[in-house]
Amino acid sequence: MLTQDSIKGFAQRCGLWLSKRMQRAIGRLRARCMLRGATIGRGVCATGRIKIRNHGTLCIGRKVTFLGGMIPTQIIVHRGARLDIGDETLFNYGASIEVWNELTIGRRCMIASMVRIADGPGQPASAVRLGDNVWIAHGAAIGPSVTIGEGSTLAAGSVLDRDVPPQTLAIGDPARFVGLNLLAGLSARSSTTTASSFTGAVLSKESLQ
């Protein structure tokens, strides 16, 4: 039996659903306008400002999202350079991407706010590559000639100047490495310890946000 409260709740849910759909549609239109001159896949969305200087080749995969915030994301692709962004990758506000030679970002990566990635200026060997499912936390910086393996994480505020193996946590300035499999093992062994020792032993992606 329908009541006034159930009808009101249904109307609110419908309104919220329509609002999200409208925001997404506006974001897609905004992305099309701001990313003119780039090759973009279906469903690319920008809920905030993006500053683009594209004098090279910029290819953006399906369902890539640029979130809005206090500071716009900036993308610079210099003449003769190439930037490839994989499907379903997410950028928070204020990220800075500058490409002099070649930069590849894999699928389903997460680029947090105020992250800086640059591959130069330098020689063609200075290309930067991020594998699939890579997490770059707030304020981290990535320099030239770096490859980050699939499933790895760069902690907040870290500075990276060398390659990172797959499934690895890189933390610090300069970044040092800890295997995520090792952290998972510590978590499993700590399940029978006190809550305080567990908190001290385990690092997670959530703690690096």
Residue 26: the pLDDT is: 80
Residue 29: the pLDDT is: 82
Residue pLDDT, tens place only, 135-160? 999 999 999 999 999 999 999 999 99
Buried b (16+ CB within 10 A) or exposed e, 84-120: bbbbbbbbbbbbbbbbbbbbbbbbbbbbbbbbbbbbb
- By the 10 Å C-beta count (0-12 exposed, 13-18 middle, 19+ buried), 188 is classed as exposed
* Cα 148 to Cα 39: distance, rounded to the nearest angstrom: 24
- β-strand 176-179 against 168-171: which pairing, if any? antiparallel
Are 89 and 106 a contacting pair, CB within 8 Å?
A: yes
Residue 126: the pLDDT is: 74
Which position has the token pair 């699928």?
107
Are 86 and 61 a contacting pair, CB within 8 Å?
A: yes
- Considering all CA atoms of the chain, what is the largest pairwise distance in Å, rounded to the nearest integer? 72
Are 81 and 99 a contacting pair, CB within 8 Å?
A: yes
Q: Which of 91, 111, 100, 194 is CA-nearest to residue 145?
A: 100
Kindly list the domain boundaries of the chain, sorted by start residue.
4-145
pTM for this entry: 0.76
Residue 124: the pLDDT is: 58
Provide the residue-wise pLDDT of the chain in tens; the chain has 209 residues: 556 565 556 555 655 545 566 676 787 888 888 888 899 999 999 988 899 999 999 999 999 999 988 899 999 999 999 999 999 999 999 999 999 999 999 999 999 999 999 998 765 557 899 999 999 999 999 999 999 999 999 999 999 999 999 999 999 988 888 876 655 555 555 554 444 443 443 344 443 33
Residue 200: the pLDDT is: 45
For residue 188, give the amino acid letter: A
